Amino acid sequence: MKKEYDYLIVGAGLYGAVCAYELTKKGYRCLVIDKRKHVGGNIYTRNEHGINVHVYGAHIFHTSNEEIWNYINQFAEFNNFINSPIAIYKGNRYHLPFNMNTFVEIWPDISTPEQAKERIEKEKAEFHIEEPKNLEEQAINLVGKTIYERLIKGYTAKQWGRPCTELPPFIIKRLPVRFEFNNNYFNDIYQGIPIGGYTQIINRMLEKIDLKLNADFFANRQYFEQIASRIIYTGPIDQFFEYKYGPLEYRTVRFETETLDIPDYQGNAVINYTEYEVPFTRIIEHKHFEFGKQDKTVISKEYSSSWKLGDEPYYPVNNDKNNELYQKYKIEADKLSNVHFGGRLGQYKYYDMDKVILEALNYIKSL
């Protein structure tokens, strides 16, 4: 018997929405469901006092892939926001990412790229790390011990809930190290924030598509499994298999968001608090993503903590133990010819938004 839908898409986040949009364009009948009461997954933004609040954490779109940039620009106009966070360590301010501005702030006696390189080499030489095996070694190899201790060690331990010696090196490789006076946090060619927020992007993608919110796949699994010929599942892969090999580890984030009756709280979208003793990792001031001039401001303090059942998973913890566990689930997943797993949670990968779109488009092309 022909099913009501060709595709059930579990999760109305970026991966699910791109798949739904592309499949509908190809003539497939899609149903998108999401357990939340809104679309967008973690890129959801909500307008408060004229300010688009990044409810599940700051999202700054950046990519070097022209095709992906053009793709996302179909759904919103982007501004020219450039992420240039500031770090505060013991009351002192430093520029991020690690660039000449940071180096002269850390070592006031230097002023040229040559001198900065020399100073980092000197600090590195004290450690002789050939092949970095963990984040601490990788960080020292990149920027030396002083910057590691002031700007990386505490922040990373707070974000991941374990010391840098127990974390994989690749996490820190996300950040540029530059011997120029350039505070752009990303190396990508294209960068910006959608004017009016991210939710409109997902709304536009899902405009002509059947959508059920407040619909938890697991609360009604039998019903949802028979409604469509195929499933695109963007939730946590371990949950799909009822945690049969044990739960994968995630980090979750708690936001303390407040509206203040002042036009500007911190003068920047992102300020990181890099010392371990300050309990939050960063403060986001949402209006600065869109250069807002409102009378009020909305700020969010971000607290990172370990995930337990019932919490929202944000970051996969891609260490060896979890990657091996993920492989077990992946083998199970590959056996299911009518279910495809996608996105940060479905593929247990620390994806950025551009990568999510690329993966979704590649998947659709492969059909």
* Interaction of residue 198 with ligand UDP, rule CB under 6 A: no
Check 251, 265, 275, 332 and give the catalytic one: 251
* Interaction of residue 72 with ligand UDP, rule CB under 6 A: no
Residue 18's closest CA among 61, 86, 75, 91? 75
Residue 87's closest CA among 163, 158, 140? 158
Under rule CB under 6 A, which residues in 284-303 are in contact with ligand UDP?
none
User: For the chain, what is the radius of gyration of the CA atoms?
Assistant: 22
Helix (H, G, I), strand (E, B) or coil at 289: helix
- CA–CA dist 208, 117 (Å, integer): 55
- CA–CA dist 242, 23 (Å, integer): 28
CA neighbours closer than 13 Å in the CB half-sphere of residue 337? 0
Run of H or E residues at 68: helix 66-73
Q: What region, left, alpha or beta, does residue 344 occupy, with left being phi > 0 and alpha being psi -120 to 50 degrees?
A: alpha
Q: What tokens were used for 341?
A: 């797993």
Check 34, 136, 302, 359 and give the catalytic one: 302
Q: Taking the C-alpha atoms of 194, 195, 201 and 204 in order, what is their torsion angle to the nearest 10 degrees? A: -150
What would the x/- binding string for ligand UDP be over residues 332 to 361, using CB under 6 A? ------------------------------
- Residue 302 annotated to the active site: yes
Check 188, 314, 352, 363 and give the catalytic one: 352
Of 171 and 228, which CB lies nearer to ligand UDP in the complex structure?
171
Check 150, 178, 230, 344 and give the catalytic one: 178
The piece of 9-17, 120-128, 169-177, 201-209 that touches ligand UDP (CB under 6 A) is 169-177
DSSP 41: G
The CB-of-134 to ligand UDP minimum distance in angstroms stands at 11
Can you tell me which of 20, 53, 106, 152 binds ligand UDP, judged by CB under 6 A?
Answer: 152
Number of residues lying near ligand UDP (CB under 6 A): 13
Can you tell me which of 63, 99, 101, 274 binds ligand UDP, judged by CB under 6 A?
Answer: 274
- Residue 36 annotated to the active site: no
The piece of 10-18, 166-174, 256-264, 332-340 that touches ligand UDP (CB under 6 A) is 166-174
What residues have CB less than 8 Å from 261, skipping those under 6 apart? 295, 296
* Interaction of residue 272 with ligand UDP, rule CB under 6 A: yes
The CB-of-315 to ligand UDP minimum distance in angstroms stands at 7
Positions annotated as catalytic residues are 174, 178, 251, 282, 302, 350, 352
Task: By CB under 6 A, name the binding residues for ligand UDP.
Answer: 87, 96, 151-152, 155-156, 159, 171-172, 174-175, 272, 274
